[in-house]
Structure 1
Amino acid sequence: MNGNKRADIKIGSEVKIVQKHDQRTGKLTEGIVEKILTNSPNHPHGIKVRLDNGLVGRVKEIIN
């Protein structure tokens, strides 16, 4: 599942994000969602979240 819809992402979900500095390479970082930062119901580049380790990025894939 991709991370374009806010309703699909829950706090505590395991996701893969792309950080701002990794957007060109497309390198994904895995982690647990701590906070959802995007307020709109959907976003074409992925919903922005903060992971439990403090990293911020846009969700590209929802693992569970």
Structure 2
Amino acid sequence: MNPKERKNIKVGLHVNIIQKQDQRTGVKTEGIVERLLTNSSSHPHGIKVMIEGGTVGRVCDILESK
């Protein structure tokens, strides 16, 4: 599934995100999607989400689909 398309991202999905401050290094943060923050149907850098705990970033990998 393509992490750059909003239709593939759902609340409760297990994903890796890249936070704004980690874009240069590529450090990924793992978590469960709590909220979708991107309103458009797709985004070239990934859909912006908030994972549990309040961390915000763009989805780079979908680890588990429901």
> So what's the TM-score if we normalise by structure 2?
0.93
CA RMSD of aligned residues (A): 0.7
Dislocated runs of 4+, deviation >2 Å: none
Gaps of 5+ in 1: none
Q: CA deviation digits over 1:17-59, x for unaligned, max 9?
A: 0000000000000000000000000000000000011100000
Partner secondary structure for residue 63 of structure 1: strand
Aligned to 1:12: 12
> How many residues end up aligned between the 2 structures?
64
CA distance in 1, matches of 2:29, 2:53: 11
Partner secondary structure for residue 54 of structure 2: coil
Identical positions, percent: 59
